[in-house]
Amino acid sequence: MSGLTQLQAMGTAERRKEARTVIASSYLGSTIEYYDFLLYATAAAVVFPKVFFSGMDDWVGVVAAYGTFAAGYVARPLGGIIFGHFGDRMGRKGMLIISMLVMGVASTLIGLVPGASVAGPWGAVLLVILRVFQGIAVGGEWGGAALMALEHSESGKRGFAASFVNAGAPTGAVLGTLVMGAFSALPDDQFLAWGWRVPFLLSFVLLGVGMFVRLKVSESPIFTAAIEQEKAEQEQAERENEAQGNGAGTTAKQAAPLVQVLRRPKTLIFTMLAGAAGFGLQVVLATFSVTYAVSQGADRQGVLYAFAAASLVSIVFVIMGGRLSDKVGRRPVMIGGLVLFVIYLVPMFQLLSSNNIMLIFVAFAIGLMIHSTLFGPLAAFVSEQFGTTSRYTGASLGYQLATLLGAGFTPGIVAQIFKDSGQDTGSVVWYLATMSVVSIVFILLTREPKNNDLQTVQA
């Protein structure tokens, strides 16, 4: 049965059941991928400065560790281009399986990299290489998972459906932080020698679970219909050319997905800048804020558990943000979340410096709830800007460039600003507020995509 016929033949109940299955699969797959990817963030905050950059000043080691962290974000747009091209040509499902395999293997190998005491600087080099593979994998994962959820959903529920993919990020963060937190209870020498490695080695187990789920998911019917439509149009054009005596080989073929996206650079650039601050704020919460709270005297394990508990609460708000955006639009929800976060920055750092685990939990919880509200609509906001035959490439590239710009270098920049200012959070607040204002401007300049027709082949 063709993709278009499949869409038309499926009853409402059957289509909704299929959508729920795909959404659940996308959520679980995203959770596993982000467990691996964000586990590195936690390790970069509390482990890598001491294991791979020992002998340096504390904050210099932190900045160096965040540099390896940034390598994953640099690689994410490359992953978006590679997986996006084949995802727009061959299908979403196959790319999701490959991206998960790459992520699982890279994360497992990170747990085996020898520290500076054994391998010297080569340990850090291997860390960067594996981080790049993590970035390529998650760069391909997000677009496929978001589009599978989006393209299986009814109009008017796309923000809600796609938000489950982004909900995988805090869920993965909870899982990774809890596992890392459990091993951080070990004595320091044991934790730094081998304890931190176990959470990465567990990635291999999660890989098996994720692959089992991914193999059971059906291909996007909208994508299948679009490819069949494109093929039918090409065959018709070839028949017309033959009838006119022009030959069958003169029919113009569809441009490569990346070319289609780059023909409309304004959409790509505006999407990237609109989403950048959301990622910057997210990664500051996961990295710098954890490091800062511990540096103020709070117990390391307590801070990690506080962040995990707050991340658990935030999952609901990601989905609520996506649902709200289906009613009022993506742009109002995202702008509202950014404005609230800017207002909250000063009290957040005051709570983080309290050396009180309960107040630190409150700091994380409020910050993540506000952030999650703007993060929920982001998957739909980005994906709906592009046509079906270039949507994987366009959405992946726009989203991953936003992560690179907003999150890739932010932990290192913020840590450097904090160090250079004499450990004054005021400079950090100004930097994050400025980033947020830039994103608000570009959200306003970007069209509201809530009612776009997803079955449009090109946009």
What pLDDT is attached to residue 10?
53
The pTM score is: 0.78
Residues 122-179 have pLDDT tens digits of 878 888 889 889 889 888 888 888 888 887 777 788 899 889 988 888 888 888 878 8
Residues 363-403 have pLDDT tens digits of 999 999 999 988 999 989 998 888 777 888 888 888 888 88
Residues 302-322 have pLDDT tens digits of 898 898 899 889 999 999 999
Contacts of 50 (CB under 8 A, 6+ apart): 61, 192
Cα(349)–Cα(73) distance, integer angstroms: 25
Mean pLDDT of the chain: 83
What pLDDT is attached to residue 60?
67
Cα(325)–Cα(304) distance, integer angstroms: 31
CA distances from 71 to 82, 217, 381, 403 (A): 17, 31, 26, 12
- The whole-number average pLDDT for the span 52-56 is 69
Check pLDDT > 50 for residue 22: yes
What pLDDT is attached to residue 34?
80
Contacts of 118 (CB under 8 A, 6+ apart): none
Q: What angle do CA 10, 11, 16 make, to 5 degrees?
A: 90
User: Which is more confidently placed, 445 or 459?
Assistant: 445
What pLDDT is attached to residue 134?
87
CA nearest to 167, candidates 31, 368, 310, 366: 31
In eight-state DSSP terms, residue 256 is P
What pLDDT is attached to residue 339?
97
- The whole-number average pLDDT for the span 417-432 is 90
CA distances from 105 to 83, 135, 279, 291 (A): 17, 13, 25, 28
CA nearest to 146, candidates 459, 457, 454, 456: 454
- For residues 144-154, b (16+ Cβ closer than 10 Å) or e, as one string? bbbbbbbbbbe
What pLDDT is attached to residue 55?
64
Residues 334-349 have pLDDT tens digits of 999 999 999 999 999 9
The model's confidence at residue 9, banded by pLDDT at 50, 70 and 90, is low
User: Which is more confidently placed, 110 or 67?
Assistant: 110
What pLDDT is attached to residue 274?
94
What pLDDT is attached to residue 4?
46
